[in-house]
Amino acid sequence: MKATEKLKNLIENELLPDLEAEIDALFAKIDKTKNASTEDKKDLEEMRDMRTECFAIVEEINRDEMDEAEATELLEELIEIKSEE
């Protein structure tokens, strides 16, 4: 399997669902307290930015605009980040 395919699978099957769950949980927390702290707002913005970046990477792969070296590098970084969690 090519690095671009592995990267796309990781993003679509693991990262995006995790981000969506975190965003939903944060919205639920904010809704429950009826108030968003500065930290909550910052966290929400960061998660939304990450989600946007993930969609952009998948789109780049779909348009065949990402080379294997770049995909390998991103894949390694994301796996490292994921394993730290």
pTM: 0.86
Residue of 50, 52, 46, 59 lying closest to 77 (CA atoms): 50
Give percent of the chain with pLDDT exceeding 70. 100
| Structural contact between residues 66 and 45, judged by C-beta atoms closer than 8 angstroms | no
The reported pLDDT for the residue numbered 64 is: 95
| Structural contact between residues 67 and 36, judged by C-beta atoms closer than 8 angstroms | no
Positions in the chain short of pLDDT 50: none
Per this entry, what is the length of the chain?
A: 85
